[in-house]
Every structure is written in structure tokens, then in C-alpha cells.
Structure 1
Amino acid sequence: MSRRAVLTLGAGLGAGLLAGCQREPAPTGTGAQLLAGNPTVPDTDPVITRRDLSTGRAREVDVVVMRPSGVPAQPMPVCVTLHGGKYGNAKSMVSLGLQQALTGLVKQTGVPFALAAVDGGNWVGDKDDDPQRMLMDDLPGWLDRLDLATTPFAALGVGEGGTGALTLARTPGLSAVAAISPTLFDTYADAAKSGIYQTRQSWEQGEPLRHTPQYANLPVGVWCGTDDRDFLATSREFAEKARGKLTTGPGGHDDAYYRRVLPDALKFVAGYL
């Protein structure tokens, strides 16, 4: 069964569970009508943070869910968002203005979806710390408890999280992936200097540049600032080999650039809902 089919089934099951719990029925109407100022639409906290134990990472992690403002709590599709750098965390994705960008996009399209961010370290991990296993094995249960579709339809990441999103996309099922300033390395010498990969084997197995044929049938969007001297060339190389969409413009490898292009990246993945 495709990931999109699972998502649709999961949303239906979630709606059934809500009915079984005898909650108040959700208002009827299209997404656009719900966002047009209908006074009967109950608001919900657009950002929810909880602490959960990850078996994949062997530690507790923050899980942050961002919903569009003005949309009632209901089952909806999810895009998983991955933070940059081993010192980043799930909450840092909120500080980039993602929830506000999501709300603006949903108001335009009338099609609501949610964003989920989790603490992932450097998204490569080491030994018993496996962030990708967390995304595959732990995240579905966390989303289920929040009445969201348990299987993300897309992944979006910044910096090392951009590489993490591309790594996740090698597992079949995503509808689209967006990588902003991904930390890609065309040689192990450069990868070793970064401290992200612990061994040559982990780089060879994990580096998206070494596995570009696996993206042949997946919509891929890549954004990189023209002042990002370390990763502009490898971003171009990856987009060309993976037949993805490359967007460049003024900016470096920093939060200011991420904030500027995140709305465009969100719009890209939302086009594959």
C-alpha cells in the first residue's frame, strides 16, 4: 500500500476514533470556508510541544507539532520538518517562523496540513543513536496520539536536517522532499572534517550524493544561497543528478536564509498533497 493510501486510511480511522469518543462533530465545509472566518470554527493551540521516549535514539526527545491557526483540531496530513545542526532541536523550527508560514499558505490554498519537528541530533547518528529509525518507528505513534495522519506525506529540512530529509526520502513512500542548504559532501575527506559522519562506511551508506538514482521518481526541491560557499556546488550537483528543482538566491548557510525560503519550500511540498 502506498504512503498516500496509508495516509488517507489513517485520516479516516482517526475520524472514526474521534466519533467513537463522542467529541463534538467538526464543522462541515471546505478548508477554504473553514478559514474564511466562520465563527463556529473552534481554534486550537497551533503549536504543541511534548516529551517522548525515542527507542531509535535511546533518549527522550521533544516533539513539536505545528498546525495552521484557525483550523479545528482534526486528522490532517503531516510534513515532517528536520532542524539543522547537532545543536539544533525541534523547537528551533518554530523560531524560524514555520507555523506562521504554514498558516499563510493554508489560507491561500484552503487545504490544511500540519508540521512535525523532533530532536534529531545530526540526523546521521552513531551506534545506538539512530535518528532515521526514530522517524520510521517512533514518529508514527506520536502522531497517532495527536490525532494526525501517522505517515508523513513529505519531509523538509534545513542544513543537516536537509540532508536528513533526503536520507529519509530514500525509503519509498514520501510524496515530495524539500532540502534547504543541505550539507552534502562529494568526498570523504570533506565529510570527515565536518564531524557528521563517524566512518567512511557511514558516509558511503548515508551520503545522498552517492545514491542519486534512488530519487528518480520523487519530486525533489533544493534551495541554497549563493553565498553558501561550502554547499552551493554540491547542492547543484545533487539537484542535477537527482533531476530535482534547484532554487538559488542571495544568502548564506544561516537562519536568515532559511526563514526567507521556507515559505517557498512549504509551497513546494504542499503541491503534492
Structure 2
Amino acid sequence: MPHRRSIGGPLSRRTLLTSGVAGLAATGLGLSTDSTTHQVEQRVSLAKNVSVERRYSEARKQHVDMVAIHPAGVSPRGLPVCLMLHGRFGDALDSVAGLPMWLSNSVAAGRIPPFTLLSVDGGPNNYWHRRPDDDAMSMLLEEVPRWLAERGLSRPIAAAGISMGGFGALVYARRRRELGEPLRAAGVVAPALHTNWREMRKRRAFTNEAEWTAIDPLRHVKSLGDLPVGVWCGNGDRFIDGTRRFIRLADPTYASTSPGRHNKTYFRKALPELVDFIGGHISP
């Protein structure tokens, strides 16, 4: 039976989601690398269950970082993979702040089966769609599966994201279904869903309104099919109107519009729950 949505209140035991209290203390995990030859930015430190690899993306016409996070003490080989898409002006290394601990804690507690979270540089302001000489969505659909296969990992079977990354995760889920390779789950935190072109145009991410409406997840909700989707957004977030519209249209498996704004404080509350949501749906 799919979990029904519950808006505004805390997560129930039935949903098997947790608050991730231990993870909330992980505000600055540090970073070193175990699988790359390039210099990794030292703004965070790297735990043993995190690897960073530099790849050249033909689709994006540039080198990108690919960050893989697996549960501590678990071999990554053969684990299912969930894409974790970063937000506007972010990058793949942003995923290291907290997620390694939250994933490891939930697996160690037996709440979810082990899986890998994978983040890749998608560009600062492209909303994960094709721009001139920079096609992040083709990178995800065509190149990432190849890179994963080289590491003994399988094609992603779930997708998640924050803000612009949430927008991208919903677009990716739609594309996978159109390709006949549907995902098992998707989770989005404060997805950057604008309700009108006037606001979207300010982001300078789309050439015109027609290009945006062809991609906008709010206009293609039915294209997700019966995909289990989890949605989190603070009720003081600037994207709350678009998120509420998505909730009304999509009737997602789980939705929360609890107190919070579009900032790291809220994200650190929502992300442990997102990890457990994905883990609860990622097994066959």
C-alpha cells in the first residue's frame, strides 16, 4: 500500500521516516578523496564512505565532479543508486554536508536498506536542462550510467534534489519514464517551482516562456505516472506556492509543509527524512 500524504505535521511512524537527530549535528563534515587524481576543494572534509571522481562530460563540454556516498561499512558495489541533484549556484560537493552521516545512521539502525547517493556537477543556473553547449540532462541520462558501470554500480533507480535540484529531479523522473525506464522513487526538498513566467524569467535560465513551459514539472505532473514521490517545503519558503500547487496536482506519496524557510536550517531537518523515504522505496 502506498503511503498517503500528510501535510503540515510531523512524520508518522507509518511512513518509516525519521527526524535524523544525530545527522543534524553534521553541519561541516570534512573532505579528502580516495578515488580521484585532481585536487578536491577543501571546504568540507571527506569521510571514508565518500568518494570524489573527476570526469569529462561531453554533454556539458567540461570536467565535472562526481560524488558517491554509500553507507559506512558497506561495499558500494552492486548497491542501488539515487541521484542527488544540487541547487542553484551549488555543485556536487554540497552533498557531503550531512548526507554521509544520515545515510549511514539509517542503514545501521535497520530503517532502510543500503544504497548509494550520487551527486554530479550540473551547472550553477541551468535548471538541469539543455543550454547552449551545456546539456546537464543528457549527462544524467546518457553519461552517468556509463560512469557508474565502470565503477560496478547500476543505473540510478531514484532521484532527489534541493531547490533547483528538486526541479531537475522531477524533470529527470519524467524523462526516465518517457524512455521506458521509470524510477522507483523521487524526493524533493523546496523544489524551485515557479507559478508564472515573470518570476521564472528573473532566473535567466530559459530562453523564453515556451522553453520553460515545455519543461516545467507543474505542467507535466501526469507524466510522472504512479511514481512514489516525497515532497518537503517550509511554509515560509519562497517556493511554497509552487510546491503547494504541485502537491494538489500530484497527490504525492508524502508531503510536508512544516515551519521553515529556504535555508540550510530547514534542509537539514528535511534531508534525513528524504533519505529514509528513498530507502523505503528503493528495494524491488
TM range (shorter): 0.7 to 0.9
Counterpart of 2:245 (choices 234, 237, 245) is: 237
Deviations 1:124-172 (A, max 9, x none): 34122111100001101111122211x1111010010010001101021
Amino acid at match of 1:103: S
Q: Which residue does 1:166 correspond to in 2?
A: 170
What percent identity do the matched residue pairs reach? 38
* Runs of 5+ consecutive residues of structure 2 not aligned to the other structure: 1-46
Indicate conservation of the 8 Å contact 1:216/1:243, yes or no.
no
Q: Which residue does 2:137 correspond to in 1?
A: 132
**Residues 138 and 252 of structure 1, relative CA distance in 2, 3 Å threshold:** same
Q: Which has the larger radius of gyration?
A: 1
CA–CA distance in 1 between the matches of 2:263 and 2:58? 31
Deviations 1:28-55 (A, max 9, x none): xxxxxxxxxxxxxxxx931100100112
Offset, 1:73: 4.1
Q: Which residue does 1:104 correspond to in 2?
A: 105
CA–CA distance in 2 between the matches of 1:242 and 1:215? 9
Deviations 1:85-112 (A, max 9, x none): 1x200001112x1111110111123621
Amino acid at match of 1:153: I
| Bigger fraction of residues in helix | 1
CA–CA distance in 2 between the matches of 1:156 and 1:117? 10
CA–CA distance in 2 between the matches of 1:188 and 1:175? 31
CA–CA distance in 2 between the matches of 1:104 and 1:144? 27
CA RMSD, Structure 1 to Structure 2 (Å)? 1.4
Amino acid at match of 1:241: L
Higher RCO (CA 8 Å, separation ≥ 6 residues): 2
Amino acid at match of 1:89: D
Amino acid at match of 1:57: R
* Runs of 5+ consecutive residues of structure 1 not aligned to the other structure: 1-43
Indicate conservation of the 8 Å contact 2:76/2:153, yes or no.
no
Answer with 219-228 or 245-254: which moved more.
245-254
Structure 1 runs of 4+ aligned residues shifted over 4 Å read none
Tell me, what secondary structure is at the counterpart of 1:194? Answer: coil
Alignment coverage as a number of residue pairs: 226
* 1:1-273 equivalence runs, <5 A: 45-85=48-88, 87-95=89-97, 97-109=98-110, 111-121=113-123, 122=126, 123-149=128-154, 151-171=155-175, 172=177, 173-228=182-237, 230-244=238-252, 245-273=254-282
**Residues 84 and 241 of structure 1, relative CA distance in 2, 3 Å threshold:** same
Offset, 1:203: 0.5
CA–CA distance in 2 between the matches of 1:219 and 1:46? 27
Indicate conservation of the 8 Å contact 2:76/2:116, yes or no.
no
Scaled by the length of structure 2, what TM-score is found? 0.76
